[in-house]
């Protein structure tokens, strides 16, 4: 057995450090909305064990992974869970399978990741109308949805559970209630919420749910899922639509969710508390703009600093030993509507978050000339 050793620095952080000419030890990793790191020890162990398993065991391993992941995420009928290469592929497979006709209307929000926004935009080639609801604190105002559904038929409501830019959690229970009142099925992008919100659950009794495995659930890259309720009126996508099953990834994802569950019913509570503490520390600071309202959020906070261009932010934080994400976050349309087309600086905490991490971020921001407490 190989001796235990400290995990290496995150690969993308190392590459960026090299580009900036920085000598760097393991940084404080605060890009969990991008991908979780380091993974729980059980995750690579499960992947390795699956790769070494006899072929005749593969069907049982896949069924077990489906059952465990579905249970952890609150999804009934585990046989309706399709493992995909990620949330993006899950959303494309789902949107392209929707039973839509020319003239049908799909409602969505202004804060969507391109993984959902792009396939929805492609529906126009089929004569489908995609209507983008106004952007408001919380992403979508439920009464706007109710009003639009009262004005005329809507075929589907397709929204994220939480924004990958602002971290805002959309009022999905209220949206679910309204969609039921009008007989409109709901498609959810749970990339940012799965594993991060209390109880790990993502379903909220939606008809279609897509999620990423490598973020909150602590799984490896290259695995996600698409769940379709049995009553949905279109053929369940399968591995002909998304490629062969990543069996090792699926088993590792199940192990990641098991590791989260072992932490208790709310494994990201400390992460969300750190996000709230960071917001409080930066509120009112001169030269600092914080995105998102005051409602429920994931563990991610986006901001702008007048004295630090977004294009230079990652290098600045790396010089202070912190790996964050700065850019457009694959959500250009959302950022344009938020008035920040060049992107934002996003800090996102993980399940091992500590108050000292908040202090480190604030210290790095203090070091930016022209950014100071108000």
Distance CA(75)–CA(91), nearest Å, equals 17
Beta strands in 2-80 (DSSP E): 28-29
Rounded average pLDDT over 187-211:
85
Which residues lie closer than 8 Å to 49 by C-beta, 6 or more apart?
251
The DSSP output letter for 352 is T
Nearest to 316 by CA among 11, 8, 27: 27
pLDDT at 3: 39
Instruction: Look at 13 and 319; give whichever has higher pLDDT.
Output: 319
pLDDT surpassing 80 at residue 76: yes
Q: Which pLDDT band, with edges at 50, 70 and 90, does 88 fall under?
A: very high
Please report how many Cα atoms fall inside a 13 Å half-sphere around the Cα of residue 217, on the Cβ side.
34
pLDDT at 203: 58
pLDDT in tens, 332-358: 888 888 888 899 999 999 999 999 999
Which residues lie closer than 8 Å to 9 by C-beta, 6 or more apart?
17, 24, 25, 26, 27
Nearest to 333 by CA among 104, 88, 113: 113
Distance CA(34)–CA(37), nearest Å, equals 10
Enter the tokens of residue 364. Answer: 């790095």
Of 9-13, 44-48, 77-81, which gets the smallest average pLDDT? 9-13
The DSSP output letter for 9 is P
Q: Which helix (H) or strand (E) holds 357?
A: helix 355-366
Rounded average pLDDT over 3-17:
44
Burial class from Cβ neighbours inside 10 Å (0-12, 13-18, 19+) for residue 42 reads: middle
Domains of the chain: 11-38+268-366 (3.90.1150.10), 42-261 (3.40.640.10)
């Amino acid at each position: 057995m190989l001796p235990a050793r400290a995990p290496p620095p995150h690969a993308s952080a190392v590459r960026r450090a090299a580009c900036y000419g920085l000598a760097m030890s393991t940084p404080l990793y605060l890009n969990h909305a991008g991908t979780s790191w380091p993974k729980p020890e059980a995750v690579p162990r499960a992947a390795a064990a699956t790769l070494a398993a006899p072929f005749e065991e593969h069907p049982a391993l896949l069924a077990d992974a489906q059952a465990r992941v579905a249970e952890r995420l609150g999804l009934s009928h585990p046989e309706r869970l399709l493992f995909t290469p990620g949330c993006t592929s899950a959303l494309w497979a789902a949107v392209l399978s929707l039973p839509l006709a020319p003239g049908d209307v799909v409602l969505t929000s202004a804060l969507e990741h391109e993984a959902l926004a792009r396939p929805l935009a492609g529906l126009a080639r089929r004569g489908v109308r995609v209507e983008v609801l106004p952007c408001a604190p919380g992403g979508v105002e439920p009464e706007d949805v109710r009003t639009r559904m009262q004005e005329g038929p809507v075929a589907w409501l397709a929204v994220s559970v939480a924004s990958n830019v602002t971290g805002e959690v959309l009022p999905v229970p209220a949206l679910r209630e309204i969609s039921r009142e009008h007989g409109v099925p709901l498609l959810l992008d749970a990339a940012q919420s799965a594993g991060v919100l209390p109880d790990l659950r993502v379903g909220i009794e939606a008809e279609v749910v897509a999620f990423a495995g490598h973020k909150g659930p602590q799984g490896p890259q290259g695995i996600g899922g698409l769940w379709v309720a049995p009553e949905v009126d279109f053929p369940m996508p399968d591995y002909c639509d998304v490629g062969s099953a990543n069996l090792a990834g699926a088993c590792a994802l199940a192990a990641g969710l098991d590791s989260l569950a072992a932490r208790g019913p709310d494994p990201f509570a400390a992460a969300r508390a750190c996000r709230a503490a960071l917001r409080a520390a930066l509120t009112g600071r001169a030269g600092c703009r914080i995105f998102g309202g005051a409602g429920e959020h994931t563990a991610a906070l986006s901001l702008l600093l007048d004295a630090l261009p977004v294009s230079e932010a990652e290098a600045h934080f790396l010089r202070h030993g912190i790996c964050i994400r700065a850019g457009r976050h694959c959500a250009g349309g959302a950022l344009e509507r938020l008035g920040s087309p060049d992107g934002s600086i996003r800090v996102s905490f993980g399940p091992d978050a500590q108050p000292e991490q908040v202090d480190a971020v604030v210290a790095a921001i203090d070091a930016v000339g022209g950014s100071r407490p108000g």
